[in-house]
Structure 1
């Protein structure tokens, strides 16, 4: 039986806990200072204290807000963090900061997204330079239980945030915009949203199956003098590509700033 302890039961922590506890070969223990967050975690064991969790588990996942970590590090060190293996989903907290404050180089960073709630997260997995092979393998396997996983170096996490962690919100915005376009043309919003959603799903399914360049697929839809090319022209006039690329860069830049601030504030 594989075992993991999860510190923090917010949206991400609880989503990962549910995904792992649904697997027969995983035992999951969870601790959170807010007991109400621990309700509805299925087959998870609820730890009564942080000390209890660290005493019983060798592999631990930090799923708490980055601003809380500095005050928690001393307690974790006192409870033997140096002898543990760690996975962190604390945004903006570097491997260097984690290593210095946990007292071990056996550390991996995750950058998941909101779709972890439905086991469809796209997660960046970034092991420390001296993380054990077993931790690297285990961290990849865990991430694949709640979605897809991509092994990335730490200097690409900011970019990954722009195209996945934050970009899922851009997709929601795009979905809403298409649906509102349907409303302006006379289709009620609930039906327009359902149509837009299934259209997005069908487009992704086709691209994934054919593994084709998205522009090549878009060109296939555009008949000469037809309806689609008029819509594409409108997107071009509105600088659609440049706007989306700027949004990715803005999110990536903000991530770098937060990471820099977290490094300056480390204990």
Structure 2
């Protein structure tokens, strides 16, 4: 695999850099973040953004969406059409990336924060003109820090709702379960450990049984037992509806961000 450069050494960029089996070169305007990463084997720090671009044929943009516009002029000047690009910036469509970079060799990643544990779930989509070689290379990069799913870009907003943002939803659910345990007499640290283990066992059951989750839940519900009482409470609290509303809210926000990026491009006269 050709040398990969990573621009941005924050939580996600740093996690990706540490997970890759081959050496990478990184750059961040925050020297401390960049130097902290160089303690890991195979990670080199670039002396400047220009240095990274000179040394990398594949570049992963791991900066916040609002930072990208200030970088585009510099990126485009450095033979951008000859490079393969990957962006993890939420809300910045492939069409905008391709036009601003002057290259159609662009792939979008939508990873979740579990990249730091090499357990991310990442959606990826490529520009229609992206080569098979660059698409395969991008997929291998995504798989180095978790599972990768090839989606249409139009499905990214939905993916954010059920994966990218859903980690926070699930963590909130874990907290609520743990607080329920506290209410019933189990100290929070122990309750949280139990809930975490239960999440792991639930995932193992769901992924190996291949049964519908409702079928599995029904198996747990004995007639007149404890579980069905709790299930009734969830139904009365419109649990399913609230979860679906959370997915819709995150999805809508993502769509609005992409629409804004496209609108900004039109306002600046780029069509």
For Structure 1 versus Structure 2, the TM-score category normalised by the shorter chain is over 0.9
- What corresponds to 1:104 in structure 2? 103
CA shift digits 1:3-36 (9 cap, x unpaired): 200011111100000001xx2xx12000111111
Q: Determine the structure 2 residue equivalent to 1:165.
A: 164
The aligned residue for residue 49 of structure 1 is 48
Measured in 2, the distance between the counterparts of 1:16 and 1:8 equals: 10
**1:39 & 1:242 partners in 2: Cα distance?**
46
Name the TM-score, length of structure 2 as normaliser: 0.95
CA distance in 1, matches of 2:178, 2:238: 20
SS of the residue 2:224 aligns to: coil
* Moved beyond 3 Å, runs of 4+: none
33-42 or 220-229, which deviates more: 33-42
Report the Cα offset of residue 75 of structure 1: 1.0
Q: Do the aligned residues in 2 keep the contact of 1:179 with 1:196 (CA within 8 Å)?
A: yes
**1:2 to partner: Cα distance:** 3.9
Q: Which residue of 2 aligns with 1:27?
A: 23
User: 1:180-195 residue pairs with structure 2 within 5 A?
Assistant: 180-195=179-194
| 1:176 equivalent in structure 2 | 175
- The residue number in structure 2 matching 1:90 is 89
* Residue matched to 2:12: 12
* 1:96 Cα offset (Å): 0.2
Structure 1 stretch 48-57 or stretch 228-237: which is displaced more? 48-57
- Paired with 1:88 and 1:69, the residues of 2 have a C-alpha distance of 10
1: distance between equivalents of 2:257 and 2:158? 14
Give the 5 Å matches for 1:1-267.
Answer: 2-20=2-20, 23=21, 26-41=22-37, 42-43=40-41, 44-266=43-265
Q: Deviations over 1:116-161 (max 9, x none)?
A: 1111110001011010101110111111110000000010000000
Structure 1 SS opposite 2:104: coil
Q: Secondary structure at the match of 2:36?
A: coil
Structure 1 unmatched runs, 5+: none
- Structure 2: state its 5+ residue gaps: none
Computed over aligned residues only, the root mean square deviation of the Cα atoms, in angstroms, reads 0.9
Q: How many residues align?
A: 263
CA distance in 2, matches of 1:218, 1:198: 17
Deviations 1:54-80 (A, max 9, x none): 111100000011111111111111122
2:2·2:57 contact (CA, 8 Å) conserved in 1? no
Secondary structure of the 1:86 match is strand
CA-CA distance at 1:82 after TM superposition: 1.6
State the secondary structure of the residue aligned to 1:124.
strand
1:39 aligned counterpart, secondary structure? helix
Aligned-pair CA distance for 1:211: 1.3
1:66 touches 1:90 (CA, 8 Å); kept in 2? yes
Indicate conservation of the 8 Å contact 1:2/1:27, yes or no.
no
